[in-house]
Structure 1
Amino acid sequence: MTTTSPIRIGVMGAHSTGKTLLLRRMEMELRGHGVPVARTGKLGRRAAQTGLPKMQHHTVASTEWIITQGIADEIAAGAAQQPQSVSAVLADRASWDALAYFNAALAWRQQQVPRAERERLRLLASTQRYDLLLATVLDPAVPVERKHDYDSRYRTLVDRHTHELLAEEDIPHVRVTSDPDSQRNAIERALQLCLKEAVV
C-alpha cells in the first residue's frame, strides 16, 4: 500500500456546542479501528496566552494568528503521522472557524474593518482543505456549564456567522446538532472515510 497524506477532518462552530467532545469520541472510534489519529486544538487559549484578544474582542491580528497557527499545527500533526499508510488529523477549530468568530466579533461591536483585511483573512482560511468538515449547530436549550461566563449574544452571533460563512463560500460540510443521532452520523462518516481510504 502506498503512503498517502493524512485525512483531514475539521470541526467548527460556536463555543460549547460539543466540538471537542465530538472529536474526542471520533478519535476513540478511529483508533478502535486501527487508524492512527492526531488531534489539534486549544487555539483560543494559546492565543490568549500570547496576549491576543479573544471572543467578542477578536482583532485582525488575533484572527490571523489563530488561522496560521492552526494550519501550522495541522501540517505538523500530519507530518508526524508519516509514514503511516492511512491516518487522520482531527482539527479542533478548522481554519474557517477563526473567520466566523472574527465576523461575529465585528457584528457584536458594530465595527467595520477595511475590505482588504477581510479579504486577506478569507484567503488565508481558504488555503486549508478538509476531507470532511463538520459544523456544530447551537442549541439554546442545552445549558452551558457555570464555569463558562459567555456573552450569550456573541455566542449566538458566532453560530449565525459560522453557517452564513459556509453558505456564502459554498463550502461542503456536515451540520452536527446536539441530537445523538446527528453526532453518531458525523462519527460514522469520518470512520467510513478513513476505512474507505485504507482499502484503496
Structure 2
Amino acid sequence: MTSPPIRIAILGTHSTGKTTLLKRMEMELRGHGLSVARTGRLGKRAVAASLPKMQHHTAQSTEWIIAQGILDETTAAARGADVVLIDRAALDAIAYFHAAMAFRGETPPRLERERLLALASTQLPKYDLLFATVLDESMPVDTGHNYDTGFRRLVDQHAHRLLADDVIPHQRVTSDHDSQDHAVEVVVRHCLKQEYV
C-alpha cells in the first residue's frame, strides 16, 4: 500500500480485553497478508519513567502518556506497515486523568484540562476506526493486579462520557464473544476494502 497506514485504535478501562482483542485483529490481518504494527505498554513505561499511574495520575503523567502514544503511533506509521493497531487511543489518557481526579476528589484547573484534551484530540482524525471496550464487572480479572474496583468503574464512565459528549464515532465492544467477533470482522473488512481501493 502506498497510502498512509490504516490506524485502528482502542480505549477503555483496564482488564476489559483491549490487548487480547488487538492481538486477534493482528492475527487475522496478518493472515490476509497485511503487515501490522502495534503500539502499547504505555502504563508500564510510565512507571519505568517514575510517573504515577491509575488513581495517582497527574497532569504531568497524562501529558507524558499522550505524547509518548503520539510518538509511538507516528513511528509505527513511518515504518511502512499497512495497518497500525493502537493499544490505548490518546483519549484514553484523558479518561484516566478525569477518573483519577474524581477518585481523589480533586478538580484540575480548567485550562489544564482543556490543554490536555486538545493534545489528545489531535489524534482523533487519524483513526480510521475507534473501538471502546465496555466494563463487565462480572468478568474475572487477573488477581495479580491490585485493582481498585471503584476507580476501574470511574475510568469506564469517563471514557464513554468523553466519546458521547463530543459525539466521537466509535464502536462499543462488550465482553460478549459475538461483540468481539464482530469487531474483528469490521476491522478485517475495512482493511481489505482499503487495500484494494
TM-score (norm 2): 0.97
Partner of residue 132, structure 1? 129
Aligned with 1:139: secondary structure?
Answer: coil
Give the unaligned 5+ runs of structure 2. Answer: none
Output the amino acid matched with 1:94: A
Partner of residue 170, structure 1? 167
Partner of residue 6, structure 1? 5
Aligned with 1:81: secondary structure?
Answer: coil
Give the unaligned 5+ runs of structure 1. Answer: none
Output the amino acid matched with 1:186: A
The answer as to 2:174 corresponding to 1:195 is: no
Encode CA deviations 1:46-87: one digit per residue, 9 max, x unaligned.
0110010000000000000000100100000010126xxxx1
Output the amino acid matched with 1:90: L
Partner of residue 67, structure 1? 66
The answer as to 2:92 corresponding to 1:93 is: no
1:150-189 pair list within 5 angstroms = 150-189=147-186
Alpha-carbon separation, structure 2, partners of 1:124 and 1:98: 11
Number of aligned residue pairs: 195
Output the amino acid matched with 1:14: T
Name segments (4+ residues, structure 1) moved above 2 Å: none
Identity across aligned pairs (percent)? 62
